[in-house]
Amino acid sequence: MRILQVCLKPPYPTRDGGCMAIAAITEGLLAEGHDLKVLCMATDKHPFNAENVPISILKATKMEAVQMDVRVKPVAAFLNLFSSESYNIIRFYSREFEERLIKILNEAAFDIIHLESIFCLPYLQAIRSTSKAKVIVRAHNIEHIIWQRLAEQDSNTFKKAYLNFLSKRLKAYEISELKNVDGIVPISEEDKHGLIQLGVHVPMEVIPMGLSVAAIAREPLSTGPLQLYHVGSMDWQPNVEAVEFFIKDIWPSIHSNHPDVSCHFAGRNMAANLLSQHKPPLHVHGEVASVADFASDKQIMLVPVLSGGGMRIKIVEAMAMGKVVLSTTIGAEGIPYINGEHLLIANTPDEFVQQLSWLKANPLELQRIGDNARKLAEERFDARAITSRLTYFYRSIL
């Protein structure tokens, strides 16, 4: 098939979970033998540099990008209050991007146009007027739920009201526009059921985010003192909220009960107020060059997420590495886990302490859960198998 993959950010370098998920689709479609073209939005947060793209992929996809300014602008955000549009969405519309997209569609006929997230939907009308291709949206999250959960967690009355306002606008947009595509690829059964409950009844196929699990090295877990770690882009609000929650509400209890346990936080754009919390055994780093190197001597990955949505591919990566994932229930959404078998769940400070106490009292459980995690990653999240399912779904709607 001839496929156009439209991305809200460049997949390379694979510096965060979203990039990793997009790159997995790109690589999988090429491995399946499809004729693939990739067009990306490039932003200050996610610039495009052809040198970051593996040469074989750059050559095969003729990957290109259009520079856009998607920054939140206070004046524009204020004026948006008096319109009916979702500010979350309109920030991703660019006339230049639309013109380039139309030119690509006029130059070649595609069977499938694969949109990476609802933030590519502002271009649906242009696609429909230019191409007869079927349009598929890969729903990385039900986006309005993220903002709804952020509002629920915020104690500031005015900020809570504004977050709820954004959530309602985004919800209306999701319901309206997702009904107009030819197919949706949610990443979890929870998201599929959520979309159906919203009244979206187009063809759907649940296909989780995938990785080349075999390419991820599995090393024996250290038998030394427990080391916890968290890696995440700190320009994404749910990650900021998660780290602040852990450091303020959870870490004091852990340190009081287990002073030999250390904790490491790393991520791009780490805020100064978080960097100032660095006080060993609590270590707050900035961006790290290699997640694998950073995590190599640590046994437990933390996912103290309160407001996210969808599925976190960083969990899959950690499971593939054989790490023990210690997550909130929300953080582990989309993973078909059994608590205590594939990962550990904790939602309160006491529960985090209890899980660590159990691991310290039963050190062999670290290796057992790590082994189970790796096996689950191999069975359910291997990129090649996932892309085969995606190809089958494409063919079913043609």
DSSP code string of 179-207: TTSSEEEESSHHHHHHHHHTT--S-B---
Q: Domain coordinates of the chain in residue numbers?
A: 2-210+382-397, 214-380
Residue ranges in 62-215 assigned as alpha helix (H): 74-80, 87-90, 95-107, 124-130, 143-153, 157-178, 189-197
CA atoms within 13 A on the CB side of 217: 9
pLDDT of residue 309: 65
Task: Please give the Cα distance from 246 to 347 (Å, whole number).
Answer: 11
pTM of this structure: 0.86
Closest by alpha carbon to 123, among 167, 177, 185? 177
Task: Please give the Cα distance from 139 to 6 (Å, whole number).
Answer: 13
How many CB atoms sit inside 10 A of residue 253's CB? 15
Query: pLDDT tens, position by position, for the chain (398 residues)?
Result: 999 999 999 999 988 888 988 999 999 999 999 999 999 999 999 999 999 999 999 999 999 999 999 998 888 888 888 888 999 999 999 999 999 999 999 999 999 999 999 999 999 999 999 999 999 999 988 888 888 888 888 888 888 898 889 999 999 999 999 999 999 999 888 889 999 999 999 999 999 888 888 889 888 888 889 999 999 889 888 899 999 999 999 999 999 999 999 999 999 899 999 999 999 999 999 899 899 999 999 999 999 999 866 678 899 999 999 999 999 999 999 899 999 999 999 999 999 999 999 999 999 999 999 999 999 999 999 888 889 999 999 999 99
Closest by alpha carbon to 301, among 236, 377, 361? 377
Q: 3-class DSSP state for residue 282?
A: strand
Task: Please give the Cα distance from 69 to 45 (Å, whole number).
Answer: 9
Task: Answer left, alpha or beta for residue 348, where phi above 0 means left and psi between -120 and 50 means alpha.
Answer: beta
Domain 2-210+382-397: state its class: alpha beta
Q: Dig out the tokens for 62 from the structure.
A: 């003729």
Domain 214-380: state its class: alpha beta
List, in sequence order, every residue forming a beta bridge with 325; answer none if it has no partner.
301
pLDDT of residue 251: 97
Decide: 122 and 93 in contact? Cβ < 8 Å.
yes
User: Quick one: which H or E segment has residue 380?
Assistant: helix 364-380
Fold agreement (2-210+382-397, 214-380): yes
pLDDT of residue 76: 87
Task: Please give the Cα distance from 238 to 304 (Å, whole number).
Answer: 10
CA 396 to chain centroid, in Å, comes to 26
Task: Please give the Cα distance from 169 to 164 (Å, whole number).
Answer: 9
